[in-house]
Structure 1
Amino acid sequence: MSKSKIHSLALLGLALSWMGCQRSSSPTNSSPATPGGSPAEQVLQQYQQDLTRLDSAVALLQRTVAQRQPVARQRQAFLAARRAWKRTELLAEYYSPSTAKLLNGPALGEVEEFDQQQRIHEPEGLQVLETYFYPEPYSPAQQEKVLEQLAFVRSSLLSLHHAAETLSPTDSHLFDAARLEVFRVMTLGVSGFDTPASPGAAPEAAEALASVQATLAPYRPQLLVRQPGLAARLDSTFRAARSFLGHQRDAARFDRLRFLVAYANPLSQQLWAAQQALGIPAFKEVRALRPDAATLFRADAFDATAFAANTSVRSTPQQVLLGQQLFFDPVLSGNGSRSCASCHQPTRAFTDNQVKSVAFEGRGVVARNAPTLLNAALQRTQFHDGRVSFLEDQAAAVVANPTEMHGSLAAAARLLTRSLAYRTAFAEAFATKPSSAVQEEQVKTALAAYLRSLISLNAPFDKYIRGEPEALGASARRGANVFLGKAKCATCHFLPLFNGTVPPSFERTEAEVLGTPAQASLHPRTLDEDLGRGGATGIRWQEHAFKTPTLRNVALTAPYMHNGAYRTLEEVIDFYDQGGGAGLGLAVPNQTLPADKLHLTAQEKHDLVAFLRALTDTTGLGHSAPRTLPQFPSELARLNRRKVGGQY
C-alpha cells in the first residue's frame, strides 16, 4: 500500500496545530454552556482523559514486555492498548490524521517519491506491534525491537496530547467526526484492515462505537428535550450494535453484512437526524464524502468535484453535454476515425472487453487493458500506474498517445473552432462569444465534466444496505461476508467505492503489488514485465505496483488485471486464493498482497462471484451516446461523414 510517512515530530506538531485551526475555522459552537462547560468543551476534556488512559495502557504493555511476562498476558495487554486507541481514534483521526497514521498505519515499508536515494522507511506503530504478538509470539531476540516500537507509540501519543491542547472543536465538526468514525468502523474496522492478524475486529469496533456515544453524550440532554423519540432510538441502536459486536467471538462467523444493514447504517442516519434536530448545521466544505451524507451508501453521497484540481468550480450541465459530444467524436483523433468511446463503450461498462485495446489504426495493441470509466471520477489517481491525478490530464494524455488516439488537443481545438455548431456549444458551456476560438483547456474541461457525470452507485448491494432486503440473494449475501471477512477483499477494495480510495476521508488512492503473471495459462509462470507505478516514478520499491481499481460493474469488465491476464472472475479469485504472484512461486520481494493462501472453499468462491455481480449498476448509461455530431463547413465535408463513437 502506498502511504507517505513523516518522521519529524517537530514538523508534525506544527502541521497538527495548523490542522486543528483549520478544522475549527467554520461553524461556531451553538450549544449552550453547562456547569461542566459547553458540550464541545466536555468532549475535549474527555478526549484528553482518553489519551492519558491510552498512554497508561501502552505503558502497562511496556512493562509486561520488559518483564518478559507470559505470552498470554502480553497479548492481553496489547489488545487492551488497541481498545484504548479506539477510544481516542475518533478525534485523533479527525484533527491529527498524520500522527494517527504513524500510530496505526499498515505494517508495510514505503518509499517517498521525492527521495532520490529511494530509502525504504520501515513501518512503526500498533500494526507493527501486532506482528510481534500474532499469529505467533515474538522471539526473545526481538524484545528490544518491541520495546522500540512501544517507545515510538508513546512519543507519538505525546504529540497528540500537545495537539489536543490547541483544539477548539465545534458542534458541527464533532458530529461530523462522529459520523466519520461510524463510517471508519463500517469500512475499515469490521474488515480487519488494522487488525489483519489479531482477533480484534469486532471488539475494537465496539470500542469505537462506544467512543462515538461518549463523544455525543453531552448533547443528549438537548436531544431529549427536542426529540425524545429520536434520543431513545439512538440509545437503542448504540446498545444493540455494541451488543451484537460483543457476541462475535468467532471471526469466521462474524456476520459483517448484518452489522452494516441492521446497526451501522441506521446509526449513521440517526446521528445525522440528531444533528439536524439540534439545529447544528453541516459545515460548508467541498470534499469527497459530502458533509451532509447521512449514509455511505446514498447514491449521491459523493461529490466528484472534490477530486478535481479546482474544487471551487463545478461542472455545468452544458459542459457535461459538450463533453459527451467530444467523448464520442472521432474528430479528436489524429486520423478522425477513433474516439474515446472506441475503447470505452457504454454498453460494456465503458470498457471494450479486450485483453488489450487495438492500437491506433490497427497497429497491434496498446500497453494495458482498458479500465472502466464508471466512477473514474471518484479516485485520486488515473491510469493503471496512477501517473496523473486529474481527469483533465488523463484526457489530454490519451488524445496525445500515439498508440491510442495519436492527436493533440491543440490541433483539435483549432479544428473545432471551424465548426459553428461547436463554437456555439463551447460559448454556451463557457460563457464566451460564439465567435471565440475554442481553447485547448476548454476541451479538457468539457471531457472531464462528462467523465465526472459517470457515477454509478446504485447497485443491488447498495439497495440492500439501504433497506431493500429483496435486492440481494442468499448467495450474494454470503459472498458479501466472504468479501468483508475471510477473503480480505475489503482491506484493499474499500467500501463503498470498492476501489483503492481510502475511507472515510477518501484523500488517497492506493496502489498494490500483486505479482500478476504475464499470462494466466502460461507454464512456467512469469511475472508480467510491466513496471506499473515504478515505471512512472523510477522507484524500485514501486515496481509492478498498480492502482487498486473499482470492483463496481466488475461483472461487465472482463478480462481482468492491468494486462487482461484473467478471463473470468473465477480465475481472479483463484489467483488471490493462492496468495498472488508470490503464492504462485514468483519472485516478488515487494508484493503488498499477503502471500498466504486464503483456503476459500468452492462454495465461498461461488458466493463471492455472486456478490461481485451484485455490484452492477449501469442504469441509463447504455443510452449515453449522442445521436448526431456537430457539423463542419463544406470545405471539411469529409468530417461530416464521421461515425458517432468512431471506429474500432
Structure 2
Amino acid sequence: MQQYQHDLTQLDSAVALLNRAVAQKQPMEKQRGAFLAARRAWKRTEMLAEYYSPSTAKLLNGPALGEVEEFDQQQRVHAPEGLQVLETYFYPKAYPPGQQGQVLEQLAFVRSSLLSLHHAAETISTTDKHLFDAARLEVFRVMTLGISGFDTPASPGTVPEAAEALAAVQATLAPYRPQLLARQPHLATRLDSTFRAIQTFLGHHPDAANFDRLRFLVAYANPLSQQLWAAQQALGIPAFKEVRALRPDAASLFQADAFEVAAFAANTTARPTQQQINLGRQLFFDPVLSGNGSRSCASCHHPTRAFTDGQAKSVAFGGRGQVARNAPTLLNAALQRNQFHDGRVSFLEDQAAAVVANPTEMHGSLAVVARLLTRNSNYRRAFAAAFAAAPDSGVQEDQVKSALAAYLRSLISLNSPFDTYMRGEPEALGAAAQRGANVFLGKAKCATCHFLPLFNGTVPPGFERSEAEVLGTPAQASLHPRTLDRDLGRGGATGIRWQQHAFKTPTLRNVAVTAPYMHNGAYRSLEAVVDFYNQGGGAALGLRVPNQTLPSDKLHLTTQEKHDLITFLQALTDTTGLGHSAPRSLPQFPTELSWLNQRKVGGRY
C-alpha cells in the first residue's frame, strides 16, 4: 500500500508536469510527451485504483462520451472528464491555442480525482487474497481493454502502457517471491521468466499499429494469468467464494468454465437443475406457448442456424407482416447484462415473458399457458418434479418463465476454433485467421466494443454491464440515397434522446452463420458489415447521426485485411450438436384439448 501511495504521488507529479507544459504553452511535442508520461503513470496505479475505487477510476480514465442517468427526467448530459478526454486535445490533432483553458480545466478535474484516490488509499485494508485477485484482474484488463486501445483510441501509447500495468503487477507481488521460491522454485523461476519475457517483447514492439496482439495473448499474457493462479494456489491463498461473472478461480479468460452463468441471473445462488433445463427445452419447441398453438420459440430461433432464422425480420404472428427486429442468436445470451436489441430487460425470465405476450411474436399469455399445461398430465408431473412441488399442484406462470430461462442458460457455446487455439492447439487457427485476429484486435478496433473473450458488449474484466452503441445503421443498405433506420432502440425504451438509435452490442460468436446483420437485418453479408464499419458508420455515409458513438473516421482496411478479418470471424463458430436440440415429440393433451395435439415440434412457421 505504501508503493500504491507512492505511485499515486508519481501520477500527481506527472499530471502537474503536463499542467505546466500546457500552461507555459510549451511546444506540442513536449506537451504530448508529458501527456503520454501521465498516462503511463496512471497505468502504474490502475490495478488497485480499479479494484478499490472503481468509480473514481472511471472519472480518471473513463470513455470520452457524455452520459445521461436513466432516471433523470431532465435528461442532463454529464460531460466526460479525465485522461481520455485530455487525449482528444492532443491526438490525433493538437488542440488550437483557443482551447488551452479547456485543457487546463480538464487537468484540474484529473487532479481533483487523484486527491480522492489518495484519500481512499489511506483507508484500504488489503489481504493476500485481495492482492492476488486484483493482480489477475489487471492482467485480464490488459488483455481485453489495454491492448485493444479501448482507453487509448487515438494516442500511440497502447503498448508502453501495457508494459507499465504489468510491471505494477509484478511489483505488487514481488514480496511473495521468497515464499514461493521456497515452496515451488520451478514455478517461481517460470513466473520471473514470464515477467521478463513480457517486458522484453513489449519493449521490442512499441508500435501499436504493428503490434502482434494475438502472439502477446497466446505466448505471454495467457500464460501469465495461469501462472499467477498457480502461484496463489502454491501459497495456500484461496480464491473468493462469491458468485461473479468471471469466476474468481478462473486461471484463464479462455478456459471452458471461466464464466459463471448464475452471476447474470436475478438469483445468483439458485442454479438451474437438469430437470428444469430439460423441461425448458421441451417448452422452447412447443407451440402451446403461442396464442394459436402454432408458433414456438424455435420458429424464429432455429438451432441449426445458431438459434436465428436467416430472415432480416421474422414473420409476425399469424403470418401478417414482420416483427420489429431481427432475431438474435440465443447462444451465449445468458452471458450479458440485458436482453433484446434495446436492452429493455435484465433477465432471461423477463425476456421469455415479453416474447410470449408480444402480439406480433407469440401473442400468448403465460396465465393461459400455465392453465393449459396444468391440464396436461405429463407436463404437470414434469413441473412438479423440476420445481419440487406436490404432484397434483398446478403449473405456475413463474415456473414457465424459469424453465425457459434455465434452458437458455444452458446454451453456452465457447468452444470455437479460436477458443481451441487459445487453449494451446496452434493448428486450430490458420494463418489468415491469425492475421485477422490482429486486425480485429488492432486496426479495425472491433475489440473496443466486442470485448474478448465473449465478443459481446459486456465489459471486462468485471462483466457488470453490457454496452449499447449508436452506429447510424441505415434502414436498408441497398437504398440510395440511404436513410437512417427509424427504430429508436435504447432511446425508445428509456425515453432518453441521447440514446436514440443505440442498440446493444451483440456477440460476434457464430456470426458467420447468423446473417443477416444489425437490429434490422439491413446487411446480408459479413463483407457488407465490414465495409460499413470501414467507412465509419452512418455518419460517414452522410446520415445525420449527431450522437453516433462509433468513430466516423475511415479505418482504411485493405482488401487483404478485410478478407483476413472475415476469416477470423468465421473461426468464432461453434454450433456443435445443435442439430439434436429439438425433442422428438410433444406431450399429448386430453380429448377436450385435442386440437392442440396437431401441433408440430418447433412450430409451423
Q: TM-score range by the shorter chain?
A: over 0.9
Equivalent position SS for 2:333: coil
Is 486-495 or 136-145 further displaced after alignment? 136-145
Instruction: Report the AA paired with residue 462 of structure 1.
Output: D
- The equivalent of 1:78 in structure 2 is 35
Partner of 2:312: 355
1:513 to 470, 476, 484: 470
Letter in 1 for 2:54: P
Kindly report which structure 2 residues correspond to 1:67-216, keeping only aligned pairs within 5 A, or say none.
67-216=24-173
Q: How far has the Cα of 1:505 moved from its partner?
A: 0.4
Partner of 1:619: 576
Shift in Å at residue 118 of structure 1? 1.0
SS at match of 1:287: coil
Deviation at 1:73, TM superposition (A): 1.1
Q: Spell out, residue by residue over 1:492-543, the C-alpha distance to the aligned partner (whole angstroms, 9 max, x if none).
A: 0000000000000000100000000000010000000101001111111110
Aligned to 1:563: 520
Gaps of 5+ in 1: 1-43
**How far 1:176 sits from its partner (Å)?**
1.0
Cross-structure match for 1:332: 289
Secondary structure at 2:334's aligned position in 1?
A: coil
Residue 384 of structure 1 is matched in structure 2 by 341
1:242 aligns to what? 199
Q: State yes or no: 1:341 paired with 2:337.
A: no
The question of whether the paired residues in 1 share the 8 Å contact of 2:183 and 2:234 is answered with: yes
Report how far residue 622 of structure 1 moved.
2.0
**In 2, distance between residues paired with 1:386 and 1:598?**
28
Could you tell me which residue of structure 2 aligns to residue 17 of structure 1?
none
1:59 aligns with 16
Give the distance between the partners of 1:407 and 1:395, measured in 2 at CA: 11
For 1:204-603, list aligned pairs within 5 A: 204-603=161-560
State the distance in 1 between where 2:126 and 2:587 align: 54
**AA partner of residue 341 (structure 1):** A
Contact 2:159 2:207 in 1 (8 A): no
Residue by residue over 1:464-492, the C-alpha shift from the partner in whole angstroms, topping out at 9 and shown as x without a partner, is 11111000001000000000000000000
**Partner Cα distance (1:233, 1:410) in 2:** 61
Q: Give the aligned residue type for 1:313.
A: A
Distance across 2 between alignment mates of 1:162 and 1:310: 35
- CA offset at residue 249 of structure 1? 3.0
TM-score by length of 1: 0.93
Conserved? CA contact 2:477–2:523, under 8 Å: yes
Query: 1:282-335 deviations in whole A, cap 9, x for unaligned?
Result: 111111000111100111111111011111211111111111111111101000
Offset from partner CA, 1:348-395 (integer Å, 9 cap, x none): 000001010000010011010000000000001100000001000000
Letter in 2 for 1:571: A
TM-score (norm 2): 0.99
Letter in 1 for 2:63: P
1:125 Cα deviation (Å)? Answer: 0.2
Q: Following TM superposition, by how much is the alpha carbon of 1:635 offset from its aligned partner in structure 2, in angstroms?
A: 1.8
Return the letter of the residue paired with 2:15: V
Alpha-carbon distance between aligned partners in 2 of 1:169 and 1:645, rounded to the nearest angstrom: 54
Give 1:212 shift: 0.7
Separation in 2, partners of 1:642, 1:323: 17
RMSD, aligned CA? 0.8
In structure 1, what residue type is equivalent to 2:130? H
- Take 1:275 and 1:269, find their aligned partners in 2: how far apart are those partners? 10
How many positions carry a matched residue from both structures? 605
CA distance in 2, matches of 1:622, 1:234: 44
- Tell me, yes or no, if the aligned pair for 2:281 and 2:404 is still in contact at 8 Å: yes
Deviation, structure 1 residue 204: 0.3
How far 1:640 moved relative to its partner? 2.2
C-alpha deviation, 1:70, in angstroms: 1.2
Displacement, 1:396? 0.2
CA distance in 2, matches of 1:372, 1:65: 50
Question: Match for residue 638 of structure 1?
Answer: 595
Offset of residue 567 of structure 1: 0.5
CA distance in 2, matches of 1:643, 1:235: 62
Structure 1 letter corresponding to 2:118: H
**Structure 1 counterpart of 2:586, one-letter code:** L
2-structure distance, mates of 1:539, 1:646: 38
What letter matches 2:497 in structure 1?
Answer: R
- Aligned counterparts of 1:429 and 1:154: Cα–Cα separation in 2: 57
Give, as a single letter, the amino acid of the residue that structure 1 aligns with 2:153.
Answer: P
Separation in 1 of the partners of 2:155 and 2:96?
Answer: 17
Cα separation, 2, equivalents of 1:166 and 1:534? 40
Partner-residue secondary structure (3-state), 2:503: strand
Measured in 2, the distance between the counterparts of 1:219 and 1:580 equals 49
Distance 2:549 2:445 in 1: 13
Aligned mates of 1:422, 1:476 — CA distance in 2:
47
Residue matched to 1:5? none
| SS of aligned partner of 1:377 | helix
The question of 1:45 aligning with 2:2 is answered: yes
Distance 1:622 1:232 in 2: 48
- In 1, Cα distance between the equivalents of 2:391 and 2:526? 50
In 2, the alpha carbon distance for the partners of 1:216 and 1:477 equals: 33
1:91-141 per-residue CA deviation (whole Å, 9 max, x = no partner) reads 111111111111000111121111111111111000000011111111111
Q: Distance in 1 between matches of 2:596 and 2:134?
A: 55
CA distance in 2, matches of 1:526, 1:361: 30
Q: Which runs of 5+ in 2 are unaligned?
A: none
In structure 2, how many angstroms separate the alpha carbons of the residues matched to 1:259 and 1:516?
34
Task: After TM superposition, give the deviation of residue 174 of structure 1 in Å.
Answer: 1.1
